């Protein structure tokens, strides 16, 4: 059945459901938005599973409403009729001389096939879509990839396949390590993917058909044209949660869905979110550091996960990058500093440029955990001692004295502990907080949760093994290739990675560290998003509550922290001095 049709609408030449045939015969469907004037234009492409026919306003209602309220410039200069979740708005790009191509990934939206995320088949599909777009008569042959989260993460893998006509990628809050960056934090299973697949993917799986949404623009079924039975839908998709639950260690399953950064050689703009604890931060920092590209830049912002991408700030940055690499414009990008930070203060962000990440002038500062005062101190403890806590309780919190001067913390942190457990394992949830002079916790806008702590880290003690060649004092790197159970009551050293953060704390404020065996909760009013299953209590949707992965007989345990002047428990933090 011929689904493809074209029209001129809102100043654009639009082709709906263009057919892109893959090497195995499956036909993927794409919407193409072009300038009306004939000619050849560079391409901005996205490929993903959220349904190109589902309007942002319909599929992600509360996220759209918050963007309208808090970021009005994100929704101005456009009719918003073509707005889709996490991809560019063609009304902001086509008049600027680009073709925008949106591809429904295999098994999603209007594209048939087996729905399996991030695997080799998806990477090959994306590669073929890039080369298809480059060969079209309306294309200059230069293709750039742009988009948020899923539409950012799969850019790493597509780039690693090295398509001949891929000219540049803009990875906005996109992970690249399928194990460490979001699915198994420190080895602990995150249940986000289960709820994500239920709430955001199954709802737009190809074949939902008449039970799903209808495109506001075409009147066609967003997941059609055919309607499959529930049994057919189930048999036509991978159960991600089951696959991850059955694989506690870093196996070929995760490796296939990750990227070899040495193969990412195209010009790169990697954009992270300070509040992206759980999914939308680590991959961008590590990807920027590890990518083989000789032309790479890092940008870091705050605010919600989706809105900054659409703001005047975000769009202008993206256009400067792509104008330089896809159009060859001499727009000054060649002089763009390698790192662009929105430095976070308690009440604002301040733009600052740097030359590298982590910052070369970082004063790596050791704060020692004092078991008697529960302080974070610059002095080692004087005596051997212990502190115990029940893992499923409130844990134990250590705090600095009130800061004597305004202090900036920007970069990754790490925590070294000597621990023992009453059972054969222990999960560590590490939280860095900010406390005001009155002792009240200060929370921050996270990528998804509006009341998030400063940053977090995780580790399963049985997966404490490090890769020495890849570890740094400020960022331990765990192999996750074997389980080393604990002998109850026997002390072990563990090094815990804490994800990068940024904040300038005023004099009188305190930095706090909480160690516990469960997810952080702020105890304040909870927030909700229409595309998320559960109310958010401080960690957004990134929870670790699967009872199979975390059986209570193991992880509802008693943990002992051991303190020794010769082997002190140490928090290493990145203090940034002012430029001289």
Q: Write out the H or E segment, with its range, that includes residue 255.
A: helix 252-256
| Closest by Cα among 158, 125, 190 to 264 | 158
Q: For residue 448, which of 74, 85, 63, 57 has the smallest C-alpha distance?
A: 63
Say how far apart CA 76 and CA 311 lie, in whole Å.
Answer: 9
pLDDT, the chain, mean:
97
CB 351 within 8 A of CB 340: yes
Mean pLDDT of 557-577: 97
Whether the pLDDT of residue 187 is over 80: the answer is: yes
- Residue 580 included in any domain: no
Regarding whether 405 and 297 lie in a shared domain, the answer is no
The answer to whether residue 275 sits within a structural domain is yes
| Residue 99 CB neighbour total at 10 angstroms | 26
Quick one: 350 and 478 in the same domain?
no
Concatenated DSSP letters of 290-302 = H---SSEEEEEE-
Stretch 161-165: mean pLDDT: 98
Rounding to the nearest 10 degrees, give the CA dihedral for residues 174, 180, 185, 187.
160
pLDDT tens for residues 469-520? 999 999 999 999 999 999 999 999 999 999 999 999 999 999 999 999 999 9
Distance in angstroms (rounded) separating the CA atoms of residues 5 and 171:
31
The two three-digit tokens of residue 104, written as one number? 């429904």
What percentage of the chain reaches a pLDDT higher than 70?
100
pLDDT digits (tens, 9 = 90+) for 324-377: 999 999 999 999 999 999 999 999 999 999 999 999 999 999 999 999 999 999
The mean pLDDT value for 219-225 works out to 95
Burial zone of 10 (CB within 10 Å; 0-12 exposed, 13-18 middle, 19+ buried): middle
Segment 77-102 mean pLDDT: 98
Query: What value does the mean pLDDT take over residues 40-60?
Result: 98
124 burial type by CB count under 10 A (0-12 exposed, 13-18 middle, 19+ buried): middle
CA distance linking residue 160 with residue 145, whole number of Å: 13
Same domain assignment for residues 325 and 402: no
pTM (two decimals): 0.97
CB 62 within 8 A of CB 529: yes
Name the β-bridge partners of 436.
Answer: none
First to last CA, the chain: 68
Helices (H), 72-199: 90-93, 120-134, 150-160, 192-196
Q: Are residues 28 and 68 in the same domain?
A: yes
- Residues of the domain holding 527: 363-575
Give the domain-ending residue among 322, 337, 354.
354
Furthest-apart CA atoms within the chain: distance in Å: 78
- For residue 80, is pLDDT > 80? yes
Q: Is residue 527 part of a domain?
A: yes
Tell me whether residue 559 is in a domain.
yes
Residue 234: its H or E element: helix 230-235
Per the structure, how many domains does the chain have?
2
97 CB-near residues (< 8 Å, 6+ apart):
35, 41, 42, 327
What is the domain-level CATH number for residue 472? 2.60.120.260
Q: How many CB atoms sit inside 10 A of residue 144's CB? A: 26
- Domain final residue pick, 354, 382, 397: 354
Q: What was the pLDDT predicted at 1?
A: 60
pLDDT value at position 245? 98
Domain boundary among 303, 323, 354: 354
């Amino acid at each position: 059945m011929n689904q493809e049709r074209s029209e001129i609408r809102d100043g654009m030449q639009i082709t709906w459901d263009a057919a892109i045939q893959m090497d195995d015969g499956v036909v993927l469907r794409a919407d193409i938005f072009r300038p009306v004037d004939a000619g050849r234009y560079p391409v901005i492409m996205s490929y993903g599973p959220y349904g190109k026919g589902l309007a942002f306003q319909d599929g992600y209602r509360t996220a759209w409403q918050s963007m309208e309220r808090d970021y009005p410039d994100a929704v101005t200069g456009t009719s918003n009729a073509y707005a889709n979740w996490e991809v560019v708005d063609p009304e902001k790009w086509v008049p600027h001389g680009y073709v925008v191509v949106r591809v429904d990934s295999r098994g999603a939206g209007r594209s048939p096939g087996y729905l399996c995320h991030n695997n080799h088949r998806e990477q090959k599909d994306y590669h073929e879509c890039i080369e298809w777009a480059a060969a079209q008569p309306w294309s200059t042959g230069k293709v750039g990839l742009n988009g948020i989260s899923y539409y950012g993460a799969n850019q790493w893998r597509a780039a690693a396949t090295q398509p001949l006509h891929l000219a540049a990628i803009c990875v906005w809050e996109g992970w690249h390590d399928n194990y460490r960056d979001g699915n198994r934090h420190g080895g602990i299973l995150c249940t986000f993917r289960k709820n994500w697949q239920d709430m955001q993917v199954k709802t737009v799986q190809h074949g939902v058909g008449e039970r799903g949404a209808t495109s506001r623009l075409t009147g066609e079924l967003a997941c059609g044209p055919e309607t499959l039975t529930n049994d057919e839908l189930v048999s036509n998709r991978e159960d991600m949660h089951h696959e991850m639950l059955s694989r506690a260690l870093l196996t070929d399953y995760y490796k296939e869905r990750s990227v070899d950064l040495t193969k990412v050689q195209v010009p790169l703009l990697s954009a992270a979110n300070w509040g992206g604890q759980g999914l939308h931060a680590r991959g961008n920092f590590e990807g920027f550091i590890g990518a083989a590209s000789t032309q790479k830049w890092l940008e870091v912002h705050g605010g919600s996960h989706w809105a900054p991408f659409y703001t005047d700030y975000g769009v202008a940055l993206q256009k400067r990058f792509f104008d330089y690499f896809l159009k060859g414009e001499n727009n000054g990008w060649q002089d763009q500093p390698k790192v662009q930070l929105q430095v976070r203060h308690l009440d604002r962000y301040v733009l600052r440029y740097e030359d590298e990440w982590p910052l070369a002038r970082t004063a790596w500062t050791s704060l020692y955990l004092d078991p008697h005062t529960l302080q974070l101190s610059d002095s080692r403890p004087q005596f051997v001692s212990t502190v115990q806590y029940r893992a499923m309780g409130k844990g134990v919190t250590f705090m600095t004295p009130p800061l004597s001067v305004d202090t900036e913390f920007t970069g990754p942190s790490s925590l070294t502990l000597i621990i023992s457990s009453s059972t054969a394992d222990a999960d560590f949830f590490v939280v860095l907080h900010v406390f005001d002079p009155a002792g009240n916790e200060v929370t921050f806008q996270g990528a998804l949760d509006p009341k998030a702590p400063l940053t977090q880290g995780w580790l399963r003690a049985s997966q404490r093994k490090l890769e020495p060649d890849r570890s740094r004092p400020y960022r331990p790197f765990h192999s996750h290739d074997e389980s080393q159970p604990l002998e109850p009551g026997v002390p072990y050293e563990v090094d815990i990675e804490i994800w990068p953060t940024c904040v300038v704390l005023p004099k009188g404020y305190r930095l706090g560290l909480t160690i516990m065996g469960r997810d952080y909760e702020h105890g304040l009013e909870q927030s909700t998003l229409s595309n998320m299953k559960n109310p958010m209590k401080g960690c957004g949707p990134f929870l670790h509550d699967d009872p199979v992965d975390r059986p209570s007989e193991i992880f509802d345990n008693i943990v002992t922290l051991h303190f020794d002047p010769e082997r002190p428990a140490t928090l290493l933090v990145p203090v940034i001095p002012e430029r001289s």
